[in-house]
Amino acid sequence: MTDKNAHQDQETIDFGYQQVKRQEKESLVANVFHSVAAKYDLMNDVMSMGIHRIWKRFTIDCSGVRPGQKVLDLAGGTGDLTAKFSRLVGERGEVVLADINNSMLKVGRDKLRDKGIVGNVSYVQANAEALPFPDDHFDCITIAFGLRNVTDKDAALRSMFRVLKPGGRLLVLEFSKPVAEPLSKVYDAYSFHVLPKMGQLIVNDPDSYRYLAESIRMHPDQETLKGMMEQAGFEQASYYNLTGGIVALHRGYKF
């Protein structure tokens, strides 16, 4: 690799299938989620035919969260996981719903308050790469469908490791790579032809959903992400393929 190419690799990063300046990606991703925030829950139900609820329930079941614990729901968006964790940790526990996007955070806060979920939930606008929390603070961190949008995923994983307590665990729920070629072809056709049309019809924004499809393809596969977690310091890293690998749940521990 030439010095010029090495410099270019450091200065640019993927935004879907485009290469953009590293410092521009955060604002470009922000624009996507400002656009889709108001109908994010509706689109999740339509896009996944409701299956995202099963994926999230599995994440909760694998979390091992108990009463009195502290949980960080990172890139928590509209608060699906936060709502469930709030009930699990109880009055003595704490759940922080954190998201870098203030539009998503506002939708999540309004939704949870409308459900009467108050008291043990707080809201923080935060960048996953530089979390504004003390060392060794949380018993569990989840990040669901958010890691692929982070500019520096390695920095984010290190930041999550720092704020976890010893004995704590990270769960990463994210779109991944289908394990069977026929499923992969069907999934590609759905992602690149159907999703943008849904985005056009429901939120009048096909480009954001085209980006979301592309960002899924650019995200590290199951084994690569497992290796990245281990590199960040997590031990006993493992993953579960869900719906044929369309989604994977990665889990790792801090000891």
Of 250, 26, 27, residue with least CA distance to 160: 250
**In the chain, what is the straight-line distance between the N-terminal and C-terminal CA atoms, in Å?**
38
Q: Which residues contribute to the annotated binding site?
A: 78, 99, 127-128
CB hemisphere CA count around 221 (13 angstroms): 6
Known binding-site residue numbers for S-adenosyl-L-methionine:
78, 99, 127-128
Residue in 239, 241, 242, 237 with CA at minimum distance from that of residue 253: 237
Least Cα distance to 222 among 174, 184, 159, 188 occurs for 174
Burial (Cβ within 10 Å: 0-12, 13-18, ≥19) of residue 134: exposed
Q: Which residues of 28-44 are buried (b: 16+ CB within 10 A; e: fewer)?
A: bbbebbebbbebbbebb
Q: How far is it, in rounded angstroms, from Cα 237 to Cα 49?
A: 30
The residues that bridge with 12 in the sheet, in sequence order, are: 21
Tell me the residue type at 55: W
Tell me how far apart the alpha carbons of residues 74 and 160 are, in angstroms, rounded to a whole number: 9
- CB 140 within 8 Å of CB 73: no
